[in-house]
Amino acid sequence: PVLVQFIYTGYIQACPVGVRTLKSAVEAARDAFGPNRFHVVTIGFNTPADNADAMGSFARSQGITMSEWRFAAVEPGRRDDLVRAFGFTYAWGPAGIDHVSQITLVDLDGTIYRQIYGDTFPLPALLEPMRELLAGQRSRESGVGAWLDRVRLLCTVYDPIAGRYRV
């Protein structure tokens, strides 16, 4: 399985928090499932600013040294198709780029298996679907809760003082 996360390196509030949250979850997943059982890719979507050098610098600043975790830049002409394929949305706002934090869990066939939303999230929200994929026990989400988990609000802005998104 692959965990995919989109960030932009110029967002000094939410994106580092999201990466640190994912780092803790990845460390827990490595402890639970073993090393090299999954991969992680963090993609900078603010082209051309989030180039290979910026992504490498960001990874170092967050203390990411795991061999199964890569930080990648996107070619400017390919960004829109890539983010659309992952269901990731963003919009330019007065203070920069507004986006919902999400981690996408992709199965071995390259199919999106689960989306996990938020700068922070409960550990089981990530580890349970990973366990299902690693054990070959895919489940289907259903019901109102699953539907609500898929709803993404594009019209949100991160409030660093309150430490949360607001509509």
Q: What is the pLDDT of residues 43-91, one digit of tens each?
A: 998 888 999 999 999 999 999 999 999 999 998 889 989 999 998 888 7
**Sign of torsion over alpha carbons 72, 75, 79, 85:** negative
DSSP 15-38: HHHHHHHHHHHHHHHHHHH-TTSS
Provide the 3-class DSSP secondary structure of residue 77: helix
* Confidence tier at 25 by pLDDT (50, 70, 90): very high
Q: Helix axis angle, 14-33 relative to 123-135, nearest 10°?
A: 40
